[in-house]
Amino acid sequence: MNEGSILRMNGLLQDLHYASRQLWRRPALTLVACVTLALAIGANAGVFSVVNALLLRSLPFREPDRLAVLNHFFPPHDSAIAFHDWSQHSGYLADAALFEEADANLGGSYTATRIHLSQTSWNFFSLLGTKLALGRAFAPDEDVDGAGWGPPGRNAVAVIGYGIWQQLFGGDPKVLGTTVRIDGIPLTVVGVAPPEFDYPDHSVLWKPGAFSPGNNGWTTIARLKPDISWNEARAAFAVETEQQSPNAGFDISNPRPTITSLRDALAGSSKNASLAFMGAAGLVLLVAFINLASLSFSRATERASELAIRSALGASHARVIRHLVAEYALICSISAVGGVATAFWIARLATKLVPPPIGIESYSILDLHVLAFVSILSVFVAAALGIVPSLYVQRFSLFDGRTLSRSTRAHPGRQVLVGAQVMLAVVLLSASVGLGRAFTHLMTIDRGYDVKALVTVSVSLEGTTHQINKSQLPYFDEVLGRISRIRGVRSASSTEFLPLYASAFVGGPFGLDGRPASRSSNLIPVFSGYFHTMGARILYGREFTEAEVGSGAKVAVVNDRFASGFGRPQDVIGRQLTSEGDSPWRIVGVVSGMEYETDPTTAGGNQVFVPSSNPGGFFSTFVARVDGRAEDYLPAIRDAIQSADRQVPVFGAKTMEQRLHDTFVGQEFYRTAVSSLGGFALLLALIGVYGTVFQAIVERTREMGIRIALGRTRLQLRAMLLSSALLVVLTGATAGVAGAQLIGHVLESLIDGARPIGLAASVSLIVLSIAIAAATVWSATRRIATLDVISIMRNE
C-alpha cells in the first residue's frame, strides 16, 4: 500500500471514529435511526431472500433455463412407447418426461410411515440432468404399461431420497438391492437421490411409472431443443395443442394448455406474491428513508457551523461530504447487521408458512445475492443520506455568520416529505385492510360445521392386511371404539374426505329421480355420527345409522344446496339419488352447507354423502368432538389409533382449527406481513410528522415569541401548527387512498383473495390518519406552552 493510500485510509478511519463519537453522544437519535433502518432493510432483505430463492437462484438441474412444464397438456400417454415416441419426434423438445405424484405407505422392517412419492417415466432424472448420490437412475425399459401404479414387474425398482437413506438406512451404501414396500408392494432400491433433491413437490421416493389409457394424472416436463428459443417453443406448442384439440373451448374446468419455464412453474403464485411484497417492503424502505433524509437535513443544518469550520481549516468539499457520509455509513452498517438478523427471522417465518417448492430453494440469508443486496442497499442509503443534504448545506462566514453561497437553494420542503410518507403509509395500510378483510371472510365464513373442539387424525390401509383381507370396517369399528372410550371425547366418526381438502375429491353428475342436477356433486363416504361429530346441522331427516354403514345400505344425505336445486329441500327426503351406471340411493337427510371447497370463488358446491363401504383405501380421517381444548386430545387419540395396529400409518394429527389455519396460512401470512409493513410505515410517518412539527417550532421560536408578545395565545399558536400539519396529512392521506385503489387492483391480480378497499374504508383510513396525526402534532406542540418569551426576545 502506498503512502497516499495509507493517508486516505487513516483519514477514513478518523472520520468513522469521529462519526461514532457523534452518534454515541446522541444515543436516542442513533437508536431510533438504526432500528428504523434495520427493520426496513431487514424487511427488504427477508422478502428478497424469497424472491432470490424462487426467481434468481439457479435450480439444481442441468441448464435449468431450458426446462419447461407443459401445463394442462396431455401428450400421448396410453403406453410408454406412445409417450416416448411422441417425445422423440417433437420438433421443439429435446426430451420430455412424465411424473405423477401420490401419497403412499412406506413399510418394511421399520414403522410404517406416510410419504410423498412420484412415479415417473424412465428418463425423469436424465431429463433434469440430476446425478444420483448413489446407484443408478431408471433404465429405458423400466417404465411399463399397466393400471394404477402397475403390477410389480420391471418397474418394481425405486430411487429413494437422501433423507430416507440417512434416516432409515443410516446412509449405508449397501442400501442398493434392498427392498422397501410402498403400499405393500416390494420395490428394489437401485439409487439414492442427491441431498435436498425433492422434486416434484417434496417427493422422497421415485419409481418408474405404469402407463395406462385414461390416466390424466400425469404432469409433463420437457427440455427445449438447444436451437429453439422460448418464443419458438411457445409457437410450436400452440400449433401442437391446436392440432390435438382443434377449436377447443377453454374455461376454468378446461384450461388452455401453456408451456412455461420450470422456474416459473415452481414459483407458482408465490412469484407474484413475493414480487408484490418486494414492492411493499420497498415502500417501507422509502418511508424510512424519507424519515432519515429529514433527519439528515436537520443534522446537516445543525452541523453547518462545524462543516464551515472544517472547510475553513482546509477540508475539501469531498471531505466534507465524507464527514456527512461517515455518520450514515456507521448507522447503515449497524442497521445492515440488524437488518440481516431481521431478514433471517422473516425468512424463517416465510419458510414455515410459505415453504419453497423444492428443498434446495431454501430462503437463505447467507447467500451471495442476498448479502450483496443488503450491502448495496446499505451503501446506497448511506451515500444518499450523506451526499444529498451536503448539496443544501449553505456556506456561511465564520466571521459574521453571513451566507456566502452563490446558490441559496432552499431545503426541499419537509412538509412534502411528510406528505409523501403519509401517502405511502396509507397505501400500505389500505392494502393490509383489503387483505385482512379477505382473510377474515375466509376464516369466519359459515361452512356448515364447527371447527372448534374437533380432532382429526388420518390413516391409510393401502397395502395393509386390513385391505388385503377386506376387513377395513372391523378395523374402523375397533378404532372408533377406542377413540370413544377416551375420557372427554363426546363423539367420533370417520370420513374418506375431510372438508378443506377438496382437491382429491371424487364425484360426478348426480341427480334426483333421474333428473340431473345443474352441477356436479362431490361424493363423500362417511361413517355414522359424522355430521353430529362435525357439528353440522341436519335440516331434514337424519344421518346414517351404524347398521346402514355396516351393511353398506344404499342411503344418502345431501346438502341443502343440492336439495334446493330441485325445489323445497325437505321434499327430497325419501326420494332417489341417481347417478348413471349406479343403482340409486335413498335420500334420508338434508344437511346444511358442509362446505368442502377452500376457494371462495368456487364455494357453495353440491355435496352427496353415502355410507363408507371401503374406508382407508386411499386414506381416511377420524374425527372426534371433545370437551375442552382439542390440542390436548391429539396425543391420546393418535395413540389410541396406533394401538389398534402399529403397521397402519397414522398421520395428519391436527385439530380442525389447525387445518383451517394451515389451509389459509398463505393468506394469513400475506395479511400479517402487509399489516406489519403498513403499521411500521404509519409509525415512521408519525415520527416524521412529529419531527417536522418539532423542528418547525425550533426554527420558528423567534416568530413564536413575537406572536405571543403581540397578543396571540399559546393555544392559538398550537392550533395554527396543528392545522398546517393536518393539511399536509390530509393531502397525503387522500393521495394515499387514491394510490391504494391502484395498488389494490395490482394486489388483486397478484394475491388470491385480495380486494381494493371501498369508499367507507377509505374515508375511515383518512379519518384515522388525521386523528392519530392530530394527537401526535398536539403532543409535539407542547413545547410552545413552555416558551419563555422574555428570554427569546432578549437573545434575539
Beta bridge mates, 158: 189
- Residue closer to another protein, measured from CB, 311 or 663: 311
Cβ–Cβ under 8 Å, residues 75 and 86: yes
Residue of 81, 248, 398, 767 that binds another protein (CB under 8 A):
398
Task: For the CB of residue 772, give the shortest distance to another protein in the complex, in Å.
Answer: 36
Q: Is residue 628 at the binding interface for another protein, with CB under 8 A as the rule?
A: no
Task: For the CB of residue 397, give the shortest distance to another protein in the complex, in Å.
Answer: 5
- Residue closer to another protein, measured from CB, 306 or 513: 306
Could you give the C-alpha distances from 95 to 91, 205, 211, 216, 402, in angstroms and in order? 10, 22, 18, 20, 78
Task: For the CB of residue 3, give the shortest distance to another protein in the complex, in Å.
Answer: 7
Extended strands (E) in 108-172 = 113-120, 134-135, 144-145, 157-160
Task: For the CB of residue 312, give the shortest distance to another protein in the complex, in Å.
Answer: 6
Residues numbered 588 to 617 that lie near another protein (CB under 8 A) are none
Task: For the CB of residue 727, give the shortest distance to another protein in the complex, in Å.
Answer: 28
Residue of 227, 399, 574, 601 that binds another protein (CB under 8 A):
399
Count CB neighbours of 84 within 10 A.
22
- Residue closer to another protein, measured from CB, 26 or 745: 26
Q: Map residues 10-29 to x or -, x wherever contact with another protein holds by CB under 8 A.
A: xx--x---x--xx--x----
Distant-in-sequence, close-in-space partners of 385: CB < 8 Å, separation ≥ 6: 289, 292, 293, 296, 325, 328, 331, 332
Q: Map residues 404-423 to x or -, x wherever contact with another protein holds by CB under 8 A.
A: x-x-----------------
- Residue closer to another protein, measured from CB, 25 or 174: 25
- Residue closer to another protein, measured from CB, 10 or 88: 10
Q: What angle do CA 477, 480, 486 make, to 5 degrees?
A: 145
- Residue closer to another protein, measured from CB, 21 or 174: 21
Distant-in-sequence, close-in-space partners of 264: CB < 8 Å, separation ≥ 6: 271
| Whole-number Å distance between alpha carbons of 61 and 71 | 20
Cβ–Cβ under 8 Å, residues 643 and 482: yes
How is residue 137 written as a grid cell? Answer: 437412475
Amino acid at 332: C
Nearest one of 780, 753, 769 to 681, comparing CA atoms: 769
- Residue closer to another protein, measured from CB, 164 or 320: 320
Amino acid at 663: T
Residue of 88, 179, 188, 397 that binds another protein (CB under 8 A):
397
Task: For the CB of residue 309, give the shortest distance to another protein in the complex, in Å.
Answer: 5
Backbone angles phi, psi at 100, to 5 degrees: -135, 130
Residues numbered 300 to 339 that lie near another protein (CB under 8 A) are 305-306, 309-316, 319
Mark the segment that binds another protein (CB under 8 A) among 282-290, 377-385, 396-404, 440-448: 396-404
Task: For the CB of residue 1, give the shortest distance to another protein in the complex, in Å.
Answer: 13
Mark the segment that binds another protein (CB under 8 A) among 2-10, 429-437, 616-624, 740-748: 2-10
Task: For the CB of residue 11, give the shortest distance to another protein in the complex, in Å.
Answer: 6
Task: For the CB of residue 22, give the shortest distance to another protein in the complex, in Å.
Answer: 5
The single-letter DSSP state of residue 54 is I
- Residue closer to another protein, measured from CB, 295 or 502: 295
- Residue closer to another protein, measured from CB, 86 or 396: 396
Task: For the CB of residue 413, give the shortest distance to another protein in the complex, in Å.
Answer: 21
Residues numbered 19 to 78 that lie near another protein (CB under 8 A) are 21-22, 25
Mark the segment that binds another protein (CB under 8 A) among 398-406, 522-530, 682-690, 713-721: 398-406
How is residue 756 written as a grid cell? Answer: 381494493
Count CB neighbours of 175 within 10 A.
20
Instruction: Give SS3 for 582.
Output: coil
How is residue 88 written as a grid cell? Answer: 422423440
- Residue closer to another protein, measured from CB, 56 or 398: 398
Mark the segment that binds another protein (CB under 8 A) among 7-15, 40-48, 123-131, 446-454: 7-15
260 sits in the region (left: phi over 0; alpha: psi -120 to 50; else beta) called: beta
| Whole-number Å distance between alpha carbons of 157 and 152 | 9
Task: For the CB of residue 303, give the shortest distance to another protein in the complex, in Å.
Answer: 10
The per-residue DSSP string of 244-288 comes to: HSTTPPP-SSSPPPEEEEHHHHHHHHHHHHHHHHHHHHHHHHHHH
Mark the segment that binds another protein (CB under 8 A) among 5-13, 170-178, 380-388, 571-579: 5-13
Task: For the CB of residue 356, give the shortest distance to another protein in the complex, in Å.
Answer: 48
Residue of 89, 109, 252, 400 that binds another protein (CB under 8 A):
400
- Residue closer to another protein, measured from CB, 154 or 310: 310
* CB contact burial 116-155 (16+ within 10 A = b; e otherwise): bbbbbbbbbbbbbebebbbbebbeeebbbbbeebbeeeeb
Residues numbered 129 to 148 that lie near another protein (CB under 8 A) are none
Task: For the CB of residue 10, give the shortest distance to another protein in the complex, in Å.
Answer: 5
Task: For the CB of residue 19, give the shortest distance to another protein in the complex, in Å.
Answer: 9
Task: For the CB of residue 317, give the shortest distance to another protein in the complex, in Å.
Answer: 9
Task: For the CB of residue 692, give the shortest distance to another protein in the complex, in Å.
Answer: 26
Q: ω before 64 within 30° of 0 (cis)?
A: no
Q: What is the radius of gyration, based on Cα positions, of the chain? A: 34
Q: Which helix (H) or strand (E) holds 532?
A: helix 530-534
- Residue closer to another protein, measured from CB, 331 or 517: 331
- Residue closer to another protein, measured from CB, 368 or 398: 398
Mark the segment that binds another protein (CB under 8 A) among 267-275, 402-410, 689-697, 747-755: 402-410
HSE at residue 647, side-chain half, CA atoms within 13 A, is 15
Task: For the CB of residue 381, give the shortest distance to another protein in the complex, in Å.
Answer: 23
| Whole-number Å distance between alpha carbons of 9 and 19 | 15
The per-residue DSSP string of 56-106 comes to: ISPPSSSSGGGEEEEET---S-SSHHHHHHHHHT-SSEEEEEEEEEEEEEE
Could you give the C-alpha distances from 55 to 61, 141, 268, 344, 641, in angstroms and in order? 14, 36, 10, 19, 43
- Residue closer to another protein, measured from CB, 253 or 399: 399
Task: For the CB of residue 6, give the shortest distance to another protein in the complex, in Å.
Answer: 8
Q: How far is CA 526 from the centre of its chain?
A: 33
Per rule CB under 8 A, count of chain residues that contact another protein: 30
Nearest one of 607, 588, 614 to 510, comparing CA atoms: 607
Q: Map residues 376-395 to x or -, x wherever contact with another protein holds by CB under 8 A.
A: -------------------x
| Whole-number Å distance between alpha carbons of 256 and 783 | 67
- Residue closer to another protein, measured from CB, 77 or 322: 322
- Residue closer to another protein, measured from CB, 401 or 581: 401
| Whole-number Å distance between alpha carbons of 108 and 183 | 10
Nearest one of 270, 239, 434 to 357, comparing CA atoms: 270
Residues numbered 71 to 130 that lie near another protein (CB under 8 A) are none
- Residue closer to another protein, measured from CB, 402 or 794: 402
Amino acid at 182: I
Residue with cell 403509509: 425
Mark the segment that binds another protein (CB under 8 A) among 160-168, 344-352, 400-408, 443-451: 400-408
Task: Enumerate binding residues for another protein (CB under 8 A).
Answer: 3-4, 6-7, 10-11, 14, 18, 21-22, 25, 305-306, 309-316, 319, 395, 397-400, 402, 404, 406
